[in-house]
Structures are given as C-alpha cells and as structure tokens.
Amino acid sequence: MAYQALYRTWRPQKFSDMIGQEVVTQTLKNTIISDQITHAYLFSGPRGTGKTSAAKIFAKAVNCLHPENGEPDDSCEICLAINDGSFGDVIELDAASNNGVDEIRQIREDVNYAPTRGKYKVYIIDEVHMLSTGAFNALLKTLEEPPANVIFILATTEPQKIPATIISRTQRFDFKRISSQDAYERMAYILDEVGDSYDEDALRVIANAADGGMRDALSILDQVLSFGDDEVTLENALLVTGSVTQSLLGDYVQALRQGDTKAALAKVEEILDAGKDVNRFVEDLISYARDLLLYTEAPDLITLVPDDNFKNLAQATPAGVWYQMIDILSDTQQQLRYTNRPSVYLEVLTVKLSGLTENGMNGTSVSQAAPAQVGQASTTVAASQALQTEVTSETATQPAPSRSNVTTTAKPADKTTGSANATPAAQAQAQVQGEQVTVLDDQAAVFNVLRQATRGDLTRVQSVWRDLINSLAVPQQAMLNVAQPIAAAPAGLVVAFDYDVIRTQAMHNQDLLQKMTVQLRILTQAQQDRQLVFITTDAWPKLRSDFVTATRGEQTETPQSNSQSNSPVEQPMATADDEGLQHLMDETNAANDQTDDPVVAEAKALFGDTVVTQED
C-alpha cells in the first residue's frame, strides 16, 4: 500500500481519540446514549481541529451495530465499511466544488429514500459556507422538514457566512484550537507507537508552529521525519518551520534590553542570512515576550523550558516593558502583511526596541513610542517640541542668522573613524584623528542651507542616496532607510528622519557621519564636504514656514532693486517639496510689487494693510 500522511494514518476513529475537544465529544456521546439525536448539526472552528473526523465518528456511532457508551466499536461490518468509504448511507459532499442548486436538489430527492444498510442516512457537507445563496435556499426546506432517518452534519471554518435561517435549524458545536501541550502529547504518543526517536524541544517547536491545528502539526512532523530520516531533532524542526532557537531569541532580547543596537542588528543580520522568515521571527518574539511576562505570575502557562538567560531577563525587567514590546511587535506584524521588504521593517523595529525603557521609548510615553504604523512620521517628542518653540521665538524677534553661525569642518576620505562621543547637546561631536566632525540640528543651520539651496544640488544628492545607503554597514543602513534628503546646497545638506529616536542615534554614530560625509563628496563629485543637518519629518513643515516668514520680513526691511538685490528670494533655492515653498515666496514678491499700486493703496485705506491668506 502507498504511503499515507500521518494525519490520515492517525485520524481519530473514536471520540476518545480526539484531543482538545472534550466538551464536544462528551455532548455527542451523551446524545447517542440518551437517543436524543437531532436531524442537523453544525460543526464550526479553525482548520485541523477535528470537525470532519468528529462527523465521521458520529456517523459510525449512530449506525454501529454494537455501540459502547456512545462510542462505535470500530470492528463491526458497518464501522469497517465507513472507515474504508464503501458505506453508501454516509455521503460526504465538498461544498467548495459542489456549491450549486442542482447538487442540493439532488440531495432533496435522495433523502426521501430509506437507508440501505444502516439505521440513519448521514450527509456530511464540508465547507458549507461555500454554498451559493440559491443552494442555501434549496437546503433550507429540507432542514425544516427532514425525514426521520436522515442526519445532516454541516462543517465550516467560517460560520459567519452561513445564513441565520440555516444556523437556527441546527445544533451548533464550536471546536476550539488545539493547545500546544495537547499537540505535543499527541505527537509524542504517535512517535512512541511508531518507534521513531525524537527531541522533546523539537516537538514543542512543531506544536507552536502549528498554531492550534492538529492536522498542521502532523503535516509538519511528517516533513521533519522525511528531512531527518525518521528522526526528529531540534535543528531539523527549526529548519522546516523557519523558527529560531530560544538561545538566539534570548541573545536578541538581551541586546535590546542593554540598549546595544549594534549587537541586536548583528543578530538580525544573522537571522536574515540564515533564510529565516521575518513574519515567523516576529511571531516567535511575541511568544517569547509573552512567556517572559507570564513567568513571574503563572510559570505553568509558558510554552518553553526557561534557561538562565530567560530567567535573568524575567527577573530584571519590569512587566511594563514586555507590555510595550508586545504592542510594538503586534503593530509591526500587521504592517508586514503589506510590504515586500520585510527586512527593512525588522531593522527599524530593532532600532526602536533598543530604545525601550521602563517609561517608554527614550523616556517618552508608550503612545509616543509606538506609532500606528511603521513608515509614518513618529509623534514629536520633547526635544522636537523644544526645537519648534525655539524656532518660533527666534523668528518672531530676530532676522534669519547669517552663514557665519554654522560650523563646518573638512573630513578627509582616508581618515579612520574614532569612537563616538555621545553628548546630550544639540550637536553630536567626536574626535577623528585630531579633527572635529559635527552634525547640526538647529534652526540656524537649516536656514543657512535653505539660503544657498539649489535644485541641482538636491537632485544630485537624491540620485546617489540609495548608493550611499548601500555602501554602509547593515546597522547604518537601517538608520538611513527611514531618512531622506530634503534640501541641499553646495556646502550643506538637510536630512529628515521619520523617527526622532533614530535621528538621535544617527547624530551620535560617528562612524556613520564620517562615511556619509566622505561618500557624499565622492558620489556627487563635490569640491568640498557638506555640513550635515539632521531634523525630524514632523519638524520640517514648521521650519519651512518660519523660513518663509523670516524671508518676507527681510524683504520688507531691506527693499532693493531687482538688478542689485541679493535677497534670499532671488537665490536658486530648492527643497524636496520646493513647489509649495516657492509658491509662498512668489506670493511675497507679488505683494511687494503691488505696494505702489493706487488700487492697493485705496484698498489699504478702506480695509487696513493686514494680509489674510486662506489655505485649504
């Protein structure tokens, strides 16, 4: 006989063989014992939880010649005929391929005939939710007035798609997911019966990967047996399921808790190089964080055997951190469904989780730390708010600062990188073989770049930006994958980051700053290094608006002729969204040109000189 899959060979033949569905099996057995068999049943629940198996066992039990306490004896001629599929009074119908009105009409005609060998004629309709509306209407009449010797068993994974008129005429049984422990015990029992050797940890990995489906668990077990020559090892189970080891998860989480972003990203690179599935890794992380959360309160509920690393993490970390981590992981898991570059999401996730503290992300609240979705601009944190306040106050009282306020230092390409000197000041500074490398994030630096910005410079930087990122190490690539150049001048570049926590880390990463400066000069064939200015995406609209306001003020205070003017408005300025900025500045020029118009003067006399701009 040809080889049969484990889930077919070990399909339950009695109610006692079914696992994880004690309520359902006991109710059905009592129904048979008390002879209170109704005409229609609805079995609903996730895939692989035993719905079709329970329907066949029930069909055997009601027709068995020698039932025992509601169980079929599985040895009489009727039970044997049902097992091999030759019993004509048990009819299985797949509604996915037989969902038309004609098939149901045929059933309506056949139910009028008495069973040929058994006591009942049993119709098992699998995936009944696939029936068409007309087929449901045709079935409804039969369910309302069925013959006394006919039983309908409807099985479905999506009961919400079944009309309420059908559900109300059936007894509904909800099958639940198979727990990991039950699946583990069932697989261990099967392997003991077969005589194959196995690793207990491997069975736990398979049980977790099955996600509540016993059929899925046995299918994965079949694959592992084939891969390992009838031997189930932990290594083979991890390879087949795409999961990662507990020790690797522990090392990754330990690096996150220590704030060691570089080590955590190295683990990510190791996971990706091994070909692991990103979705499976995030799911394993959620389970690991859940086990850490439960360890101190209910250790019996965890699904793994804790090692020393696990115990240390659970004891040294407040429960609130695991709450926050699970929230962030769940948000990322949702976003992974809609991307074709999951590795980028995983890298950004790693950088974000490395900044997780007892009070949230870098001291901010959880709601600030976990945005609604990866890729959107993060909520502005305290540093960004302080920057905006400074921008508003300065532009209200002072003209735009001069270029001399910006510190620019040359950084030769052949210098090696020194260690980063992380400081809480506005600038991230470090010593590189005696030379000082700076990156700015204040309003003055942004304004000075905008005053000399050109479309050509920005286009050149944007055209080589991806090449610049690819030339960096993986941890540095993760930082720049959520950043983009938005304004460029011959001697400066403004880069906007989606997340303030990543911007801060990039400012303090001296290796990244050195490589960015050198690569920008080489790739754009520039004559000098560009001063880097890092801001957040949220702060950019405010800074841009303040720059336009300051520029208007300068024009009003120092009017000059077009031929002699050195006003910033006349400079070939360009930003990543310069159309809106240039539009505002054109309005300013138009307003200035109309100051001598007699019509404008008359309008000012009547209504005042306040200019009101309405924006949609």
Report the CATH number that the domain containing residue 270 is assigned in CATH.
1.20.272.10
Its pTM stands at 0.53
φ, ψ of residue 122 to 5 degrees: the values are -110, 125
CA 17/CA 12 separation, integer angstroms: 5
Look-up: residue for tokens 């200019």? 611
Instruction: State which residues form the domain around 45.
Output: 21-174
Where is the domain boundary, 174, 196, 229? 174
Judge if 167 and 231 occupy the same domain. no
Check whether residue 233 and residue 361 sit in a common domain.
no
d(CA 570, CA 451): 10
The CATH number for 212's domain is 1.10.8.60
- pLDDT value, residue 61: 92
Give the separation between CA 483 and CA 348, rounded to whole angstroms. 11
Domain boundary among 148, 174, 200: 174
Considering the domain architecture, whether residues 160 and 284 belong to the same structural domain is answered as: no
Give the phi and the psi of residue 182 in degrees, each rounded to 5: -65, -40
Q: Tally the domains of the chain.
A: 4
In a domain, 15, yes or no: no
383 plus 404 within the same structural domain: yes
Q: Are residues 455 and 342 in the same domain?
A: no
d(CA 220, CA 237): 8
Phi, psi of 281 (to 5 degrees): -65, -45
- Do residue 162 and residue 184 come from a single domain? no
Neighbours of 343 (CB within 10 A): 17
Question: Which pLDDT score, from 0 to 100, does residue 395 have?
Answer: 37
pLDDT by 10-residue block (mean), the chain, 616 residues: 79 89 92 90 91 92 89 89 87 84 85 86 91 88 84 92 91 90 90 87 86 88 86 86 80 88 88 82 87 80 73 83 88 84 86 72 39 34 37 39 36 37 36 55 87 87 88 84 91 90 86 87 86 90 86 60 42 53 48 55 64 60
Domain check: are 85 and 169 in the same one?
yes
119 assigned to some structural domain: yes
Instruction: Extract the tokens encoding 242.
Output: 């795409």
On whether both 463 and 498 belong to a single domain, the answer is yes
Measure the N-to-C terminal CA separation of the chain; round to a whole number of Å.
Answer: 75
Q: In whole angstroms, what is the distance from residue 229 CA to residue 136 CA?
A: 48
Nearest-angstrom CA–CA distance, 140 and 461:
68
Residues 168, 27, single domain; the answer is: yes
C-alpha 339/C-alpha 344 separation (Å) is: 10
Domain termination residue (choose one: 341, 369, 397): 369
Q: Are 312 and 251 in contact (CB under 8 A)?
A: no
Q: Give the tokens for residue 57.
A: 């066992």
The conformation of residue 42, written as its DSSP 8-state character, comes to: E
pLDDT value, residue 86: 84
Q: How far apart are CA 447 and CA 545, in angstroms?
A: 11
Residues 285 and 384 grouped into a single domain: no
Q: Looking at this protein, which amino acid is placed at residue 64?
A: C
How far is Cα 370 from Cα 375, in angstroms, rounded to an integer?
A: 12
